[in-house]
Every structure is written in C-alpha cells, then in structure tokens.
A and B are shown apart, each in its own frame.
Chain A
Amino acid sequence: GQNIDQPTEMTATEGAIVQINCTYQTSGFNGLFWYQQHAGEAPTFLSYNVLDGLEEKGRFSSFLSRSKGYSYLLLKELQMKDSASYLCAVRDQDYKLSFGAGTTVTVRA
C-alpha cells in the first residue's frame, strides 16, 4: 500500500514562514502534488513536482527529493487567509493519487 506522512497541525504567526514536510513510500512515483483545502471547501491545486529541486510560485514553494522520498511546501509571508489544510499527494505507478491526511495550518495575528 501507499504510505504518505505529514504533520497533523502547525501554527505560525502572520508574516512568518512555515515549512510543511511530507515523506512518502509508494508503488512507483509519477509526481507529487500539493493542494490547499479551506474548511468546508474543495481542495485546490497549489503545486506539482516531478523532478528533484525547488518549484517557486509566488509566496509558495515546493521541494522534492525523490531519492529520500521527501517533499516540503514552504509558505512565506504568511497571511490570515493561508489558514487551511495542506494536502500532500503522490501519483503512483498506475497514475493514481494517494493523499496524506493533511496538515492543518493556523495563522495567528
């Protein structure tokens, strides 16, 4: 089966930086996705990594190391609206997504 681990909760202050780690053990690897999900809403796509390295998109960056089975999502200049759950998902050898349980980030003033 698939095993995707990420912390359950994180708290940070407005304007700060938070790093959400994700480790995975899956049947094959065809890319890693990060989604944001506000309470009661649908997940929305944030980033995609398939090669090792850092992908930057505005205040959000995502890093991947395939050899270590590791990724992180970096949120910079935190805003109150960034309070949400962040889901790590790995696409396996059958091109299906397996999701971690999600990390709930709370941004405090």
Chain B
Amino acid sequence: IAGITQAPTSQILAAGRRMTLRCTQDMRHNAMYWYRQDLGLGLRLIHYSNTAGTTGKGEVPDGYSVSRANTDDFPLTLASAVPSQTSVYFCASSEGELDTQYFGPGTRLTVL
C-alpha cells in the first residue's frame, strides 16, 4: 500500500441501510479527514481526527459518525442512509493539522 486507500470504489445502497466507508493510510499521518463532494458545492468537511483516539465535527456531520482506533484507519459510518447522502466521499490525511492534506481516490455512493 502506498498513500491512502478507500473502499469500496463505488456502492449503490438502499435508503435506511447502514454503510461503512473505509479509509486506510500508510504514511503514519496523525490527522485524517472525511469530505463529501457535490456538484457545484465543492468539498465539505464531514468529520476529522487530529490524532488517534480523537475526532471532531466538520461542516456537515449530521447522519455520519467516525472512529479513530489507530493511526492508519478512519472509517466513516452512515447509520441509516438517506438519498441526500448520495455523493462522492474523499478521505484525506496530513502529517499534522498544519500540514498539506493528501486525498484518497474517493468512494462514489448512491442512495436510492
């Protein structure tokens, strides 16, 4: 593994279902982030983690939860998916919160 990986690449999900998007980085970065990208709106921060064991809310956290049990992994969970959560989800990481963020390849999620 080199950099950041995300899984799945794409997913179609029925409304009301639970879904976890996975993100793993092998750069030993302390900070990790989840964004969603919607046409015309740009990237919006959902949740972040400045270091393992801590998490924080971003601009659009409702309907999403995260955990950071270790340095490498930062899963994003949709407890009960709704159609407005249809989006492309990007995970990013940085060495620290003052450093440049690097992005994973993204997960395209469609909620029907």
Contact = CB atoms under 8 A, between A and B. Distances in A.
B48 interface: yes
26 contacts: A33-B100, A42-B103, A42-B104, A42-B105, A43-B90, A43-B103, A44-B103, A45-B100, A45-B102, A48-B100, A87-B42, A87-B43, A95-B97, A95-B98, A96-B45, A96-B48, A96-B58, A97-B43, A97-B45, A97-B101, A98-B45, A98-B59, A99-B35, A99-B42, A101-B40, A101-B41
Nearest to A8: B40
Interface of B: 35, 40-45, 48, 58-59, 90, 97-98, 100-106
A41 B45 contact: no
Contacts of A44: 103
Question: Secondary structure of the A side of the interface?
Answer: strand
Contacts of B98: 30, 95
Interface residues of A, number: 20
A30 B21 CA distance: 30
